[in-house]
């Protein structure tokens, strides 16, 4: 019988290994994802150790006990098919439930091949989140939009309030670090002095990735995308859209972006009530 793995907290150095594994899997993490995710919730990272060796890991993020997110679920390829990943996944789910208030929901973005497996664990399909790619010219011909400004010019309380309409829980600790990270740019769309959307683009292992991209409507989303894309000049740019926003689907069609990857957004517990029409790009597949 296969010995059960030891399930324990990850160390900070092991989180770097986990993000490196994610890069090898083709998930294209950001250059500073490990430090930002650790800053958000150091207790989120769970390891599977077998015969003294780190064989897998994953994140179980708690947003103040109000919402949980499971991501970064990886077992090293040479240790797959032995039941180690199953033991790790079940342990992560149960640990995260204990970190949340009773009745709080858990979200995840799972690869399509694993959708049936996650459904057996109680998760219900909501919609697809699809990754699109654009190749940005070295000198993109885009005029500056007077409605688009640096996000740092907007009071953080306003940013947090807007973010909360698009995300299932308040996440001030994450948000403050995310919008101020190195190798990134954060922009806002203002209409008559009111926040009508914001977005962040960050450098990744390959090219750059926009996330989140939240906006009142397609016009604001397009203005933000155009400004953020200049940060990625000369390389690939990636955007993960939720398919339950028709305006987001129309945006990537209009921009002629190429679909390259996708995940199933699933929830354990009630699906959160969000302003889905504002979500043109999810923040990350790993942390929600």
Q: Does residue 1 fall inside a structural domain?
A: no
Q: Is 207 exposed, middle or buried (0-12, 13-18, 19+ CB in 10 A)?
A: middle
Are 142 and 119 in a shared domain?
no
Question: Residue 143 above 70 pLDDT?
Answer: no
Q: Does residue 125 fall inside a structural domain?
A: yes
pLDDT digits (tens, 9 = 90+) for 192-242: 999 999 999 999 999 999 999 999 999 999 999 999 999 999 999 999 999
Return d(Cα 92, Cα 268) in angstroms, integer.
13
pLDDT averaged over every residue in the chain: 95
How many other C-beta atoms are found inside a 10 Å radius of the C-beta of residue 173? 13
Are 114 and 193 in a shared domain?
no
pLDDT digits (tens, 9 = 90+) for 96-137: 999 999 999 999 999 999 999 999 999 999 999 999 999 998
Q: Does residue 150 fall inside a structural domain?
A: yes
| pLDDT band of 146, cuts 50, 70, 90 | confident
- In eight-state DSSP terms, residue 113 is G
Phi first, then psi: give them for residue 271, nearest 5 degrees: -65, 130
Q: Are the C-beta atoms of residues 196 and 215 closer than 8 Å to each other?
A: yes
User: Domain tally for the chain?
Assistant: 2
Which of 169, 175, 218, 176 has its CA nearest to residue 197?
A: 218
Return d(Cα 84, Cα 48) in angstroms, integer.
8
Q: Does residue 288 fall inside a structural domain?
A: no
DSSP 77-95: GGGTTSSHHHHHHHHHHHH
Are 84 and 29 in a shared domain?
yes
The percent of residues in the chain predicted with pLDDT above 70, rounded, is: 98
Question: Residue 145 above 90 pLDDT?
Answer: no
What is the extent of the structural domain holding 225?
Answer: 131-260+269-281
Least confident of 58-72, 142-156, 158-172, 241-255: 142-156
Q: Domain ends where: 95, 110, 130?
A: 130
What are the structure tokens assigned to 68, written together?
A: 């949980």
Higher pLDDT: 59 or 145? It is 59
Question: Residue 141 above 90 pLDDT?
Answer: no
Q: Does residue 287 fall inside a structural domain?
A: no
pLDDT digits (tens, 9 = 90+) for 5-28: 999 999 999 999 999 999 999 999
What CATH number is associated with residue 150? Answer: 3.40.630.90
């Amino acid at each position: 019988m296969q010995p059960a793995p030891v399930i324990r907290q990850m160390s900070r150095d092991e989180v770097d290994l986990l993000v490196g594994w994610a890069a090898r899997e083709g998930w294209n993490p950001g250059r500073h994802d490990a430090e930002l995710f650790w800053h958000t919730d150091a207790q989120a990272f769970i390891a599977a150790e077998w015969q003294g060796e780190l064989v897998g890991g994953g994140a179980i993020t708690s947003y103040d006990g109000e919402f949980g997110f499971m991501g970064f679920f990886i077992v090293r390829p040479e240790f797959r098919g032995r039941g180690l990943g199953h033991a790790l996944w079940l342990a992560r789910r149960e640990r995260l439930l204990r970190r949340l208030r009773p009745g709080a929901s858990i979200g995840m973005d799972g690869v399509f091949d694993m959708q049936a497996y996650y459904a057996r664990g109680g998760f219900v399909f909501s919609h697809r989140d699809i990754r699109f790619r654009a190749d940005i010219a070295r000198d993109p011909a885009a005029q500056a939009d007077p409605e688009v400004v640096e996000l740092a010019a907007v009071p953080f309380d306003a940013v947090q309030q807007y973010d909360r309409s698009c995300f299932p829980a308040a996440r001030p600790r994450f948000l403050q670090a995310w919008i101020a990270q190195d190798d990134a740019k954060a922009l806002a769309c203002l209409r008559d002095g009111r926040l009508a959307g914001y977005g962040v683009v960050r450098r990744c292992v390959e090219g750059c990735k926009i996330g989140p991209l939240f906006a009142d409507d397609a016009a604001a989303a397009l203005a933000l995308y155009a400004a953020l894309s200049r940060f990625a000049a000369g390389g690939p740019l990636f955007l993960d859209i939720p398919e339950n926003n028709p305006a987001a689907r129309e945006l990537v069609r209009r921009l002629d972006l190429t679909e390259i990857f996708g995940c199933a957004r699933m929830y354990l517990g009630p699906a959160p009530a969000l302003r889905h029409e504002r979500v043109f790009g999810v923040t990350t597949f790993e942390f929600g």
